[in-house]
Amino acid sequence: MAKIQMKSPSCSYFYPWATVMVSCISADGKPNIVTIGASSVCSSNPPTVGIALNPQRYSHGLIEAAGDFGINIPGPQQVEATDFCGTRSGRDMDKFAAAGLTPQAPSVITSPLIAECPVSLECKLVEVVGLGSHDWMIGEIVAAHVDEELLDEDGHFRPSPDRALFCFGGDYRRVGQQIAKWFFTR
């Protein structure tokens, strides 16, 4: 295998990333949604997640002012709404209404959640790390809401490959074929 050193070190489009819809709210109570392709778990205890948000996004100021946000994990059924919310600004429209999405009341934070998404996480903003074009906005998950179809009989989360949406090389993709279980070489 011959590896070529790229002119640019960026590799952000090479691998699949979970696509999420981040919900937030303005000081005067108007909800908004921004689509995020760059998000990740940061820590499991306390449970924290990060999203890479360009400071020019309308949502950035809302999240900083409110101090919280919702991470809503769409499935393939929400692909159109996901793209819509990533190609329009909440400065110009009510994206919940325009995309046909329903605000779901949060239990802890002020930002609404998205009822149509099978998984919604309530996050309190704990840190904003400026990195250049994007800030890494880190939130602690203070409540999680999961479609009952994704819970087993003991109430444990059993993620379904059919209910997640990934960005991969400029496409939206489903989860692919299972290859092995974690730790299978132990």
Ligand X SMILES: Cc1cc2nc3c(=O)[nH]c(=O)nc-3n(C[C@H](O)[C@H](O)[C@H](O)COP(=O)(O)O)c2cc1C
* Three-state SS sequence of the chain: CCCCCCCCCCCCCCCCEECEEEEEECCCCCEEEEEECCEEEEEECCEEEEEEECCCCHHHHHHHHHCEEEEEECCHHHHHHHHHHCCCCCCCCCHHHHCCCCEECCCCCCCCEECCCCEEEEEEEEEEEECCCCEEEEEEEEEEEECHHHECCCCCECCCHHHCCEEECCEEECCCCCCCCCCCCC
Closest approach of Cβ 145 to ligand X, in Å?
A: 22
93 or 151, CB closer to ligand X?
93
Closest approach of Cβ 131 to ligand X, in Å?
A: 12
94 or 147, CB closer to ligand X?
94
Closest approach of Cβ 90 to ligand X, in Å?
A: 3
37 or 139, CB closer to ligand X?
37
Are 34 and 57 contacting, i.e. CB atoms less than 8 angstroms apart? yes
Closest approach of Cβ 95 to ligand X, in Å?
A: 7
57 or 163, CB closer to ligand X?
57
Which residue minimizes CB distance to ligand X?
Answer: 86
Phi-psi region of 155 (alpha: psi -120 to 50; beta: other; left: phi over 0): left
Closest approach of Cβ 109 to ligand X, in Å?
A: 17
State the residues that interact with ligand X by CB under 6 A: 19, 32, 34-38, 52-54, 57-59, 83, 86-91, 134, 167
36 or 73, CB closer to ligand X?
36
